[in-house]
Amino acid sequence: MKYLKTLITAIVCLTVLTGFNNFNTPKSTDVIILKLMGKKLESAYVINDGKEERFRNGLTGDQALEFFLDEGWSVEGTSVASDAGRFSVVYTLSKK
């Protein structure tokens, strides 16, 4: 009975320690945020491993969206932004 109690205690401790190790491991998610005003690409940001880079490459908004969708990115969400009476659509893309 004493050995069974020790074994159960050891298993519980290992489970807790493994859970903390998985919890503290940073997970990187690559995200792209595109802000389009009509066909114009207002701004584009690539967030990779926590680092943010601005992206342009002379593309229009439609071209940038199609480029990333062709590269395997998927749309995770959209929202509408307003700036001084002008509306734009913000796309959030992620790679799975």
Q: What is the pLDDT of residues 68-82, one digit of tens each?
A: 889 888 998 888 877
Q: What is the pTM of this model?
A: 0.62
Domain ranges in the chain are: 31-95
Q: Give the long-range contacts of residues 64-69, CB within 8 A, separation 24 or more.
A: 64/34, 64/36, 65/34, 65/36, 65/91, 68/32, 68/34, 68/93, 69/93
Q: Higher confidence at residue 49 or residue 75?
A: 75
Inter-residue contact 77 to 33 (CB < 8 Å): no
**pLDDT digits over 9-44, tens only?**
656 544 554 555 545 445 555 888 888 887 888 888
* Closest alpha carbon to 58 in 44, 37, 72: 44
Q: How many CB atoms lie within 10 A of CB 36?
A: 21
